[in-house]
Structure formats: C-alpha cells, structure tokens
Amino acid sequence: MRSLLIFSITLVIISSIITSQLIQSENEITTYIENSVPYVGTEIPRTDGMDGTGIKIAIIDTGVDFNHPDLFGWGLDGKVIGGYNFIQPDELPMDTNGHGTKVAGVIAADGNTFGVAPKAKILAYKVSEDGEGVSSELISGAIQKAIEDEADIINISLGVNRTNSKIDNAVNHALDNGIFVVTAAGNDGPGIRNNWKSRKEFAIINSWCNLQQYDFKFNCNIANR
C-alpha cells in the first residue's frame, strides 16, 4: 500500500515539474491547475482518496516561502516541516526567488489554492538564490540531508548541465534507501538526451513535451503575492 502511495504521489511531483517549468513571467496569470491535473494522471490517486497524507517531499531548489498563507508556516504545525539553507546556514531556507515556492505550491498548497497533494508535507533545501549555477556539492549535500530527514520523495527542478560522481552517488544512495527521486531534464527539448543517469526508481521529466499544446498555467501569485 505504501509503495502504491509513493507511486501516486510521484505523479504529483511530475505534474509540479511540468507545470512550474511552463510558468510565464507575467505577474497576473489565471489559475488553471485544476484543468492541467488530468493530463498528467494525478486524478488516479485522487479517486482513490490519496491526498499526500503521511508523505514527506523534499524540494531541492531556491527554498520555499513558508510564510505564504497556503503553506501554513514553518515547523511541525506548518506545511514546511523542515529543511536546510545551504546558502546561508544560519538562516531558514526562505525563498527570495519564487521558483521553489511555485514548485511547493503546485505540489502541496492547501488554502485558497490547492496543490495536487494538499496534505503532503514539505522539506525545503535551499541550494541557490536564483536556480542558476548550482554546484554539485550543494545538490549532493541536499540529497544526503533529505535522506537523513527521511524524505519519501526528492524533487529536483533545477537544470543541471552535467552530473558527476558526487551527484550520481547521492542519487543512488537515496534510491538504495527507498526514496523516489524525480528530476527535471530542462526546457530545451525536444529530444531524449539528458544529463541524469537513471535507474528504475528514478524519473527524469522534460517539460518540453506534447503538453505544451494545452494552456497550462499556474498562478504566479503563489510566489509573487
């Protein structure tokens, strides 16, 4: 049952990657997340009553704005129950860019806006201020921290020009600990090439796909309120 739940919530992560990477930069965008969900298969776990309850999702990104009203704050009583700031270790992993918050919102917002797994909890690992030029040391360190924090799923919606043994070993360590790892292959497709080495528990998602023909948008005010 737990394996089925993990698989179902993985569909949630896939939808977050596809949706968040298709976001435009305009400040005012209409919310169509409810329309996009069926196209990525997340209606399947919903019909089975799966809403993310009991699942911890690690987001390795620009941090998360845990003060957003749809994310219920920081700590065990909030949506963002933990994480780590690899950029400023003495500070909480607050998002000042917006990307990580958009990912978190699509996954697990639970307020005026509902994510596709609204009862899931978030572990926020800030490895970049802007999502660009993230070092392999920070990515591999965040993966290791997510393992220590007992994440069920690790989501990495960062473009990676190339991986190395540090990142590959960290991903494999996560997989060996029963954690499903989902990554973004970037926005530059089409094509099947990517820079991630995969195993059966490892999903690589490229946002450049047939879903572009649909008008998928998410409210950028999740981060720019």
Domain range enclosing 109: 2-222
Q: What is the pLDDT of residue 219?
A: 38
Q: What is the pLDDT of residue 143?
A: 96
Task: Find residue 58's DSSP bridge partners.
Answer: 123, 154
pLDDT category of residue 157 using cuts at 50, 70 and 90: confident
* The pLDDT of residue 85 is above 90: yes
Phi-psi sector, 125: left (phi>0), alpha (psi -120 to 50), beta? beta
Q: What is the pLDDT of residue 81?
A: 97
Q: Greater confidence, 205 or 39?
A: 39
Phi, psi (degrees; rounded to nearest 5) at 151: -65, 150
Q: pLDDT, tens digit, for every residue of 177-202?
A: 999 888 876 655 555 555 666 554 55
Phi, psi (degrees; rounded to nearest 5) at 165: -60, -30
User: Coil, strand, or helix at residue 26?
Assistant: coil
| Single pTM value for the model | 0.77
Quote the mean pLDDT of the chain: 75
pLDDT category of residue 34 using cuts at 50, 70 and 90: low
33-62 mean pLDDT: 80
Q: What is the pLDDT of residue 66?
A: 94
What's 65's domain CATH number?
3.40.50.200
pLDDT category of residue 148 using cuts at 50, 70 and 90: very high
In whole angstroms, what is the distance from residue 145 CA to residue 128 CA?
Answer: 16
Q: How many CA atoms lie within 13 A of 80 on its CB side?
A: 28
In whole angstroms, what is the distance from residue 23 CA to residue 192 CA?
Answer: 22
Q: Greater confidence, 40 or 55?
A: 55
Percent of residues, the chain, with pLDDT higher than 70: 61
Q: What is the pLDDT of residue 220?
A: 35
Q: What is the pLDDT of residue 218?
A: 34
* The pLDDT of residue 37 is above 50: yes
In whole angstroms, what is the distance from residue 105 CA to residue 115 CA?
Answer: 6
Total domains in the chain come to: 1
CA angle at 16 for the pair 15 and 21, rounded to the nearest 5°: 105
Helix and strand element counts for the chain (H, E): 6, 6
* The pLDDT of residue 132 is above 50: yes
Q: What is the pLDDT of residue 134?
A: 87
